[in-house]
Amino acid sequence: MSRLLVKLGLCLALMTFSAGAFAQVRAWLDRDRINADESLVLSIQLEGVAGSGPNYGPLLGDFKLIASNAGTSLEPGRGGMVMRTLFLASLRPLRSGLLTIPSLQVNGMSTRPLSVMVVGNAPEPPQQQPQPVATGADVFMETLLDDDSPYVQQAVGLTVRLYSALTLVGGKLDQPTPQGASLTRVGDDNQYDRDISGRRYTIVERRFLLVPERSGPMALPQARFDGRSAPGLFDQLTGSGGDDQHARSRPRTLNVLAAPANAPQPWLPLRSVTLRYRSTPQGLRVGSAAAVVVEATIDGANAAQLPELLLPPIDGVQVFPEPVQADEGFNEGRPRVRLIRKFSLVPSRPGPVRVDGLRMDWWDVVGGAARSTTLPPLNLTVTGVGGAAAAASNPGGAQRPTRRTRARRSAPMRRPRPRRRSAMRRGRARRCCSRCFG
């Protein structure tokens, strides 16, 4: 029994050491831009080890801690089951401007600092304000579009918000897909608070990617919510389970424009395109690989809508592209994506080489004009002979002879002496032959 307890304790110690060795922490915000009368959610995830909650003291100078909670789960990972603890904190800014959430200590580890832009008392643009007809209601909805007159196949950001001054205990939020378009949900729901006309509302924000498939008027169906609110004091006294709550957004109509005749092909309606080199080599060497890393930042599309990032053909150089790394987001009510791709260049001969920059032709949906974004060319020099070219000049991997091998080759070859059989073996052979051949 004692041996079993010792083995069990040793296993637990090894498990604790393994989890602690790979423990990590990360933090993020649900939004990077809010109004002064709104709250935001800070999420901190501790992975690989169980620990106590973070110390929120360093951020209380610029924020008020409204509420906090935590939850632990055991999820499958690369090396087996991984323990993850998620800490959530609802924060309300105490001033406007660019605020920084400093590094916080969690179980002996530090989170990275985060920034959020808090907009002051300036009025919101009309498309961002709650619908006046619904102001003062306990529960209401609104839908926001980042473009009411998009082009066909343009990615349109659609945001559905549910406002509630009551505590909701359940319900269903739905946005039907309009005819002649595709609708895809983006990310998880955001939840925060806002003061409207002297009342505090909890807002559930759901985001979608709307892509019209044909031109002409397109009706956007009403978003719907059906649920129940928590019972009040009177409901509890009478045994009631709360009231039914229903909300609908107002109807919206989009005017979808056709692709212009002078638009570049393939058709790519965007708001902005930025290209840059993340890294370039100083020079090239024959047979050796050198890396060129390109970054593209696209406003108004997701990764699936964009063409493949490819370098133009290079004379005398083989190009080996690696898989694209995509970082997709939903900022300011519309989709944005950052693409990073690495290209390995392997030249086959020395001399000067010109690497033409990557080019992307697109249609500016804001300016209504064709645009072209191109990286500047790279003028490189190929020198020397690398490992691959050296291997090609010595096929089969043959090694050069050394002194010892040259001496062995120059020495005369000796003829091997025949092996002599013993008398016993000769006698056996004679008896076998006499029996077989008489």
Predicted confidence at residue 128, as pLDDT, reads 47
Of the candidates 296, 301, 295, the residue with the CA atom closest to the CA atom of residue 278: 295
How far apart are alpha carbons 394 and 391 in whole angstroms? 5
Mean pLDDT by 10 residues, the chain (438 residues): 50 43 77 83 82 83 86 73 84 88 86 86 48 68 92 94 90 93 90 85 92 94 91 56 84 93 93 94 92 95 91 92 90 88 94 93 94 94 65 41 45 52 47 44
Q: What is the pLDDT of residue 4?
A: 52
b/e map 255-265, b = 16+ CB within 10 Å: ebbebeeebee
CB 160 within 8 A of CB 175: yes
Residue 123 confidence (pLDDT): 46
What pLDDT is stored for residue 419 in this prediction?
52
**What is the pTM for the complete model shown?**
0.66
Contacts of residue 163, defined as CB under 8 A and 6 or more positions apart, other chains included, come to 130, 134, 137, 139, 140, 141, 142, 194, 196, 201, 202, 203
What is the pLDDT at residue 121?
Answer: 56
- Reported as type and span, the H/E element at residue 8 is helix 2-21
C-alpha torsion sign, points 10, 11, 14, 15: negative
Residue 76, preceding bond cis, omega within 30 degrees? Answer: no
pLDDT at 153: 94
pLDDT on residue 232: 62
Gap between the Cα atoms of 200 and 4, Å rounded: 59
